[in-house]
Chain A
Amino acid sequence: MENNVLIDLKNICVSFGDDQILKSINLYIRDGEFLTLLGPSGCGKTTTLRVIAGFQSPDTGDVVFEGKRINDVPAHKRQVNTIFQRYALFPHLNVYDNIAFGLRIKKEKENVIAERVTEMLSLVNLKGFERRAVSSLSGGQQQRVAIARALAVRPKVLLLDEPLGALDLKLRKDMQVELKKIQQSLGITFIYVTHDQEEALSMSDTIVVMDNGVIQQIGSPTDIYNEPKNAFVADFIGESNIVDGVMLKDCVVEFSGHRFECLDKGFAENEDVDVVVRPEDVDVVATDKGMLKGIVTSVTFKGVHYEIIVDIGGFKWMIQTTDKQDVGDKIGLFIEPDAIHIMKKSEYSGKYGDFSSFSEEFDELSQPDLVAEDSEDEN
């Protein structure tokens, strides 16, 4: 396994002025892997990419590429290519010349270039656009040109910084599939940055969850989803109810005034823990059959299921159920042992997983981070 590690980041720290943006990042990326850096806006994803690409030199730590330290190799000599957040196409060149740019720098013959550009254009479905001005293209088309331009020089690694961030939902889904296809057919390594957990879950081999310049968790999508390491990860990847609990002994946990069986072991006796229960893992039952009882305070129809908020002893739970409930109904809840996930207490404990202030609009607003990115990039 060690021998096919392509990139290794060791103890990378980056500061801008007094702000430490990356705090000791340790991460390795295997050849051919689709690795995603996932985290909220401003957590240091772009900075991490820039360290790998060579636009940002780390204050401390090593960047290792194929076993060689490349801290001192300038950007234009690294075998990685980047798709920038806002494409960064060259406005004075047409589509053909944009894609041919890297090849011309490498002094390839014009017939080789023509062949490669044609190949790239068909890869990204833009045949016939050769002579178009890039400013006349739609966002999706510009994105494809950016991909073609980066891939034309046959990089070992492609760095993609929120490449789909500016596209609408439908186009986004299509492009996700296309990108994944491209990655698989070319067999090159993708380091992909996004703040969209769904995108990360559906595309990646490995997800790196970051917050505040610190890697919170590295793992496969299912690991990350099913076994989040702390409240931040649990909340960021999908919806979670996170409540305080006490681990009475192995496989027994108490929360919300009830004892539950679970599958987790290895905690100290009576250790305070965070308990995660995913909304879709809770069954609604009659009050007398429920382990917990509560009152429905809101109901939202979501198509496949209803999303209801249930008040249990003052703590609001979110539950997804296919049975319609009404506001004010008293219901019971049933939770299977394998639906319960126990996490150690962390700095994030108590900050996430309570839906008492839940509002959908608020959730929507906090998602798109492009607005924030714009102002950051100005400096």
Chain B
Amino acid sequence: MKKHLHKLYGFLIFAFLYAPILVMVVYSFNGIKSRSVFDGFSLQWYQALFDDRLILESFYNSLIVAALSALIATVIGTFAAVGINKMKNRPKQAFLFVNNIPVVNPDIVTAISMMILFVFFLSVTRAMEMGFWTLLIAHVTFNIPYVVLNVLPKLRGMDNNIYDAALDLGCTPIKAFLKVVLPQIMPGIITGVIMSFTLSLDDFIISYFNSGTSFQTLPITIYSMTKKPYSPKINALSTLLFVFVLILMLIVNLRQSQNEKSKNKGGKVQATSPVVKRVIAVALSAVIVVSCAFVLVRLNSTSEIVLNVYNWGEYIDLTVIDRFEEEYGITVNYTTFDQNESMYTKVISGSADYDIVIPSDYMISKMIEEDLLAELDFDNIPNYAYIDDAYKNLEFDPENKYSVPYTWGTTVIMYNDKYVDPEDVADKSINLLWNEKYAGNILMFDNPRDVFGLALKKSGYSMNSLNPDEWAQAAADLQTQKPIISAYVMDQIFDKMISEEAYIAPYYAGDWLIIAEENEHVKCYIPAEGANMFVDSMCVLKSSNNKEAAELFINFMCETEIAVLNAEAIGYATPHSGAMAELDPEITGNEIIYPDKEVLSKTEVFVNLPQDVLTQQSNYWIDLKIESSEE
């Protein structure tokens, strides 16, 4: 009985650890884009993965940084461990303490402090820009403590006399270290390398702050994709990574258990077979050669013009970039973000020097106020003429001096017609979100601006209201709504609506299309009280040194053919009249995506709110969120 319990326990632990990975692997072969239904075996997501230049490039970047930083950190860390091990007790304790601080320190502290140091150092010396080198240094730095922690116990466990014995038999100190000490601590070193490698591959925060403009690692790319519905490409990528790490671990474990077996048996020592040794040597030198080549290429490729473009994740047809590079011989460093706020943080951190950013409306007005954007020379952007007048001179950039609209859309209210009475949606009102009949099946946005926008609009106020009383009422309304809300979420809205876990939710028009494709019962309307219209526009930063090239790029993006490619890839509405004409009429005829002028006239764009209103908003928001998590 007890034995069975043991087995069950073991099984449960395994299931708990590996079930998620198994599910992910299975779904990477899914024939359709769903996280809940498996429909036929297909390699399409692997295909999509290998077609995604941004993912592949950042994956390659991640591998190079991980491999190089692991190697360098291991060499430095091993010598550090040897030094620390030789120290007297007191200084040794002190060193270990210092060594351990970065390990327990929150990553964000490490990340920011390094960034500040780099920015300071680089602004003084003007030696180079933040990018590959700073990222590499940062990764080496945070990996070293882990190597030390892995190697030191092996050194401690070693009989000190064997080093002396090697000297005694004629080894120079260096030879003695290589021939005798190194083999003893090798298991620790290997664990150190692997740990550094995976930590580096995994890292987001430190990379985010220290990679500058030009260099994006895989975690940053993936993270920036989360604004859009989650793509099964990630399943395929994760599966590949998992298999890669699995193979690595298997090799290491096999080697170790082989050695141990031969030792325990008291049999012959199986000195690592020459073949295995050669394979390892070849693999190592391959890594080093590739890395060096990569470094050399980076060193040499700084002469021509390089445009640094910072856009939302999955917000472009990537072939467009290739075409631009080919046509104009300008290199584009294309990197991605997931939120206006994280883009803003990075721009003002001083660690980056982007040329082009593509923020949303309110962020554009904020950046204009803060003098971060350059006035555009529209003589260089003749294709600006294609932009429909409806999207020019909007509130966030009233004279349209700083921005060229790229995509736009409105918020909509989605409902599932299987559960929601037709009469409840007849008036197309925001009040549906407050309808107690559907308590527990209603979702809300998980960001204050959209939530308060809806609440203000519900009472007929402006989404950009400056009146404290109106805000107070909106906050009170949200408090009364809270009990019937199932969750405040963002991209989970996709899943919950598709799986019919929830019946009613607000979201963005372009994303409703994706949901409706998977569940035809999800319908939507643009609220009659008026909706938020968001516009994402291309802007050039004031700090850019390549303003003309940047304008060239913006102009290129406004070529009709290019605009069509992008509109098709993104799924949001395009402000480009030329593209509108060429797009599939089924899309342009959809009155949710391209609503008519009358509906549009009731929409409102967000502008940047004054600080006191923002403070008030965030206080109300915290009240709402904190109590909700207490329940």
State the A residues within 8 Å of B (CB).
Answer: 53-55, 74-77, 80-82, 84-86, 88-94, 97, 101-102, 105-106, 131-133, 135-136, 149-150, 153, 377, 379
- Shortest C-beta distance, B374 to chain A (Å), equals 64
Chain B residues with CB under 8 Å of A153's CB are 169-170
A-B contact pairs, 23 of them (CB 8 A): A53-B168, A75-B167, A75-B168, A76-B168, A76-B172, A76-B173, A76-B176, A77-B170, A81-B168, A86-B159, A88-B164, A90-B162, A90-B183, A92-B184, A93-B269, A94-B271, A105-B175, A132-B268, A133-B266, A135-B266, A136-B263, A136-B267, A150-B168
B269 near A55 with CB under 8 A, answer no
Q: How far is the CA of A77 from the CA of B169 in the complex (A)?
A: 9
Chain B residues with CB under 8 Å of A88's CB are 159, 161-162, 164-165
Chain B 435-477 interface 0/1 with A at a Cβ cutoff of 8 Å (1 = within): 0000000000000000000000000000000000000000000
Chain A residues with CB under 8 Å of B162's CB are 88-91
Q: How far is the CA of A291 from the CA of B180 in the complex (A)?
A: 66
Shortest 3 CB-CB contacts between residues of A and residues of B:
A136-B266, A102-B169, A88-B161
A-B interface contact total, Cβ < 8 Å: 89
Residues in B265-295 with C-beta less than 8 Å from chain A: 265-269, 271
When C-beta atoms are compared, the residue in chain A nearest to B266 turns out to be: A136
- Shortest C-beta distance, B84 to chain A (Å), equals 15
B169 near A85 with CB under 8 A, answer no
Which of B161, B169, B267 contacts A81, CB < 8 Å? B169
Chain B residues with CB under 8 Å of A90's CB are 162, 165-166, 180, 183
B165, B168, B268 pick with most chain A CB within 10 angstroms: B168
A105 near B169 with CB under 8 A, answer yes
B263 near A135 with CB under 8 A, answer yes
When C-beta atoms are compared, the residue in chain B nearest to A137 turns out to be: B266
Which of A75, A106, A149, A150 contacts B164, CB < 8 Å? A75
When C-beta atoms are compared, the residue in chain A nearest to B168 turns out to be: A82
- Shortest C-beta distance, B93 to chain A (Å), equals 14
Chain B 88-132 interface 0/1 with A at a Cβ cutoff of 8 Å (1 = within): 010000000000000000000000000000000000000000000
Which of A76, A106, A133 contacts B267, CB < 8 Å? A133
Which of A74, A133, A136, A149 contacts B169, CB < 8 Å? A149
Chain B residues with CB under 8 Å of A86's CB are 159, 161
Let me know if B301 is at the binding interface, CB within 8 A: no
Chain B residues with CB under 8 Å of A105's CB are 169-171, 175
Chain A residues with CB under 8 Å of B165's CB are 82, 84, 88-90
- Shortest C-beta distance, B622 to chain A (Å), equals 55
Let me know if B160 is at the binding interface, CB within 8 A: yes
A131 near B268 with CB under 8 A, answer yes
A92 near B169 with CB under 8 A, answer no
Let me know if B198 is at the binding interface, CB within 8 A: no
Q: How far is the CA of A133 from the CA of B262 in the complex (A)?
A: 8
Q: How far is the CA of A90 from the CA of B166 in the complex (A)?
A: 9
B160 near A132 with CB under 8 A, answer no
When C-beta atoms are compared, the residue in chain A nearest to B180 turns out to be: A90
Q: How far is the CA of A363 from the CA of B173 in the complex (A)?
A: 43
B262 near A55 with CB under 8 A, answer no
Chain A residues with CB under 8 Å of B180's CB are 90
B161, B169, B173 pick with most chain A CB within 10 angstroms: B169
B160 near A55 with CB under 8 A, answer no
Tell me the dominant secondary structure on chain A's binding face.
Answer: mixed
When C-beta atoms are compared, the residue in chain B nearest to A152 turns out to be: B169
Q: How far is the CA of A76 from the CA of B162 in the complex (A)?
A: 13
Chain B 170-190 interface 0/1 with A at a Cβ cutoff of 8 Å (1 = within): 111101100110011000000
Chain A residues with CB under 8 Å of B168's CB are 53, 75-76, 80-82, 150
Chain B residues with CB under 8 Å of A91's CB are 162, 184
Which of B161, B170, B183, B266 contacts A76, CB < 8 Å? B170
When C-beta atoms are compared, the residue in chain B nearest to A135 turns out to be: B263
Q: How far is the CA of A54 from the CA of B170 in the complex (A)?
A: 12
- Shortest C-beta distance, B330 to chain A (Å), equals 56
Chain B residues with CB under 8 Å of A85's CB are 161
A84 near B271 with CB under 8 A, answer no
Q: How far is the CA of A90 from the CA of B271 in the complex (A)?
A: 13
When C-beta atoms are compared, the residue in chain B nearest to A91 turns out to be: B184
Q: How far is the CA of A151 from the CA of B405 in the complex (A)?
A: 85
Chain B residues with CB under 8 Å of A132's CB are 266-269
When C-beta atoms are compared, the residue in chain B nearest to A136 turns out to be: B266
A101 near B169 with CB under 8 A, answer yes
A55 near B268 with CB under 8 A, answer no
Q: How far is the CA of A91 from the CA of B161 in the complex (A)?
A: 12
Chain B residues with CB under 8 Å of A135's CB are 263, 266
Chain B residues with CB under 8 Å of A54's CB are 167
When C-beta atoms are compared, the residue in chain B nearest to A134 turns out to be: B269
Q: How far is the CA of A80 from the CA of B161 in the complex (A)?
A: 16
Chain B residues with CB under 8 Å of A377's CB are 160-161
B171 near A94 with CB under 8 A, answer no
Contacts A76-B170, A89-B165, A136-B265 aside, 7 further interface pairs with beta carbons under 8 A come to A53-B164, A75-B167, A88-B164, A90-B183, A93-B269, A106-B170, A131-B268
Q: How far is the CA of A105 from the CA of B167 in the complex (A)?
A: 10
Which of A53, A94, A102 contacts B170, CB < 8 Å? A102
Q: How far is the CA of A22 from the CA of B168 in the complex (A)?
A: 22
When C-beta atoms are compared, the residue in chain B nearest to A106 turns out to be: B170
Q: How far is the CA of A97 from the CA of B172 in the complex (A)?
A: 18
- Shortest C-beta distance, A147 to chain B (Å), equals 13
Chain B residues with CB under 8 Å of A53's CB are 164, 168
- Shortest C-beta distance, A322 to chain B (Å), equals 47
Q: How far is the CA of A84 from the CA of B166 in the complex (A)?
A: 11
Chain B residues with CB under 8 Å of A74's CB are 167, 173
A131 near B269 with CB under 8 A, answer yes
